[in-house]
Amino acid sequence: MVVYDPLSQADPAPAERVDLRTLLETSDIVSLHARLTPENHGLIGAAELARMKPSAILVNTARSGLVVEAALVEALRRRTILGAALDVFDIEPLRPGHPFLELDNVTLTPHLAGSSIDAFHGSPELMAGHLENLLAGRGLVPIVNGVQPRLSFRGDARRAGLR
């Protein structure tokens, strides 16, 4: 198993850290798990898809902008890669007549791949833990958009057990 992550310095064991080119050329399945940033927008385009094995499958449940959608449609049409599994799209929901809907080598889900039973059961507990830490002054809530919530209390904070 190999991994490419230009931002992490953590030991990926048991995976081996490789560059993107090596990952694309050697992997049977390329699965994307990244936030979309200006630096990685279009990370997988025509050139990257051409490096993949003809038997490879691309999985993107992260963000649509990581993959150049038109290049992926073309690679799937030409069968440059075996297939793709996608949960994110440039425009959601997919409109009738979208090329992905006409291909037999792509699996599509409507942006709900993270909606598992475990996620539904675990999310409230996870959020409660984040809020508990915030209220106790042990850290901030992990926020994607960079806007941290502000605490404001009506009445006496001491009576609420917060001081």
User: pLDDT tens-digit profile of 68-102?
Assistant: 999 999 999 999 999 999 999 999 989 999 999 99
Residue of 63, 74, 98, 130 with catalytic role: 63
Residue 163 CA to residue 155 CA, distance in Å, equals: 13
The answer to whether 121 is a known catalytic residue is: no
Residue 100 CA to residue 135 CA, distance in Å, equals: 46
Which helix (H) or strand (E) segment holds residue 86: the answer is strand 83-86
CB of 56 closer than 8 Å to CB of 82? yes
Size of the chain in residues: 163
Q: What is the dotted CATH code of the domain comprising 2-108? A: 3.40.50.720
Query: Quick check: pTM over 0.75?
Result: no
CB of 59 closer than 8 Å to CB of 85? yes
Residue of 17, 74, 98, 111 with catalytic role: 111
Which segment of 24-28, 139-143, 156-160 scores lowest on mean pLDDT?
Answer: 156-160
Which residue, among 78, 74, 16, has the nearest Cα to 44 in the 3D structure?
A: 74
Residue 111 CA to residue 33 CA, distance in Å, equals: 14
The answer to whether 111 is a known catalytic residue is: yes
Residue 45 CA to residue 15 CA, distance in Å, equals: 24
Q: What is the pLDDT of residues 143-161, one digit of tens each?
A: 655 666 666 666 555 555 5
The answer to whether 63 is a known catalytic residue is: yes
**Coil, strand or helix: which one is 85?**
strand
The pLDDT assigned to 10 comes to 87
Residue of 35, 78, 79, 92 with catalytic role: 92
Domain segments of the chain as ranges: 2-108, 116-163
